[in-house]
A and B are shown apart, each in its own frame.
Chain A
Amino acid sequence: MYGPLWRLLPGPWPVKVILALVLVAGVVAVCFLWLFPAIAPHLPFNGNSVQTGLPLPGSAPLST
């Protein structure tokens, strides 16, 4: 998988190294900015509130 990718990169090896680093940085950026924020709400360890699905006695939910 990585072998063919390496061969695809043009130029002598120092250029290939730089291009590879740029690709890695791009993947990290996509993960940090879009992928991870999108999946985080669905993971089981991110709850901080008590369940508010039940109506609370003596309180009317405010319209949002």
Chain B
Amino acid sequence: MTALRWVVRTLGELFITLGLLVLLFVSWQLWWTDVTANREQAATIQTLEREFRPPALEHRAADPVADPLATLTKVPFGQAFAIIRIPRFGADYARPVLQGTDHDTLTQGIGHYSGTAFPGQVGNFAVAGHRTTYGKPFSNIDLLQKGDIIVVETKTRYLVYAVDRHVIVTPDQVEVIAPVPQQPGARPKQAWLTMTACHPRYSASQRYIVFARLLKAIPRAAGLPASFMTVPKGSVG
């Protein structure tokens, strides 16, 4: 009898422990990953801003930027190379873009699909970001409206994109990141930006996709006009 009682008690304690561990995991996933990822991503932004700062005047003339894409195309996997700013998400919204879209990369910021175009390049600059957890850079992707500005900042240029449209697709519909979005095989004539995030929130059964078109490419020296960073009316940020 006492043996049976011991077995039942131990089993009960084990199940309670497992339940607590699952709850602990949920709080880690939904809360702690945001805490650590936001901290890391803010640090990456600071590093990038320092790197992007133009060198002192006397060095600048000696280093003309002939091809703004030359340095970008050599970015190694997992390295941050650009900053995305989206006024609709708040005036101070800034997230790093890293090369690659694997799990680890996406915990550190927005990931650039390897093999797709680079910022400002004709073709499709396609990026993925978390909708929930890990700092959730694309948490409010569903709030983006036609005409909303997305600024991609690289070492040499500001690339200003304007949102064109959105679609909701299944995860296997890779044609959204084709050089001409949704037209695989077509020859690109303009520069696109495609953002992908999971959909619905807290699920991964679908993808929420936003397409934006390049509006303007501005050399860093010219500076980004403040009008592009105006937060649209009715924004959450």
Interface size on B, residues (CB 8 A): 54
Number of A-B contacts (CB under 8 A): 107
B87 within 8 Å of A (CB atoms): no
Docked complex Cα distance between A49 and B187 (Å): 23
Verify if B198 is at the interface (C-beta below 8 Å from A): yes
The answer to whether B114 touches A62 (Cβ under 8 A) is: yes
Interface residues of B in 45-75 (CB under 8 A from A): 73
A36→B29 contact, CB < 8 A: yes
Q: Which residues on A sit within 8 Å (CB–CB) of B17? A: 1
How close is A63's CB to chain B, nearest CB, in angstroms? 9
Q: Report the interface size class on chain A.
A: 20 to 34
Evaluate contact between A49 and B196: CB separation under 8 angstroms.
yes
**B103 in complex: contacting residue of A36, A41, A56, A57, CB < 8 Å:** A41
Which residues of B are found within 8 Å of A61, using beta-carbon distances? 114-115
Which of B77, B101, B202 is close to A45, meaning CB atoms less than 8 Å apart? B202
B10 pairs with A59, CB closer than 8 A: no
Task: State whether B177 touches A51 (Cβ < 8 A).
Answer: no
A49 touching B24, Cβ below 8 Å? no
Which residues of B does A touch, CB under 8 Å? 9-10, 13-14, 17, 21, 24-25, 28-29, 32-33, 73, 76-77, 99-101, 103-104, 106, 111, 113-117, 123, 128-131, 133, 138, 169, 171-174, 176-179, 184-185, 187-188, 196-198, 202-204, 207
Residues A59 and B202 in contact in the complex (CB < 8 Å), given A32-B32, A48-B130:
no
The residues in A between 38 and 61 inclusive whose CB is less than 8 angstroms from any CB of B are 40-41, 44-52, 54, 56-61
Contact A48 B196 (CB under 8 A): yes
Q: What chain B residues lie within 8 Å of A46 (beta carbons)?
A: 103, 133, 204
* Pairwise interchain contact B185-A57, C-beta atoms closer than 8 A: yes
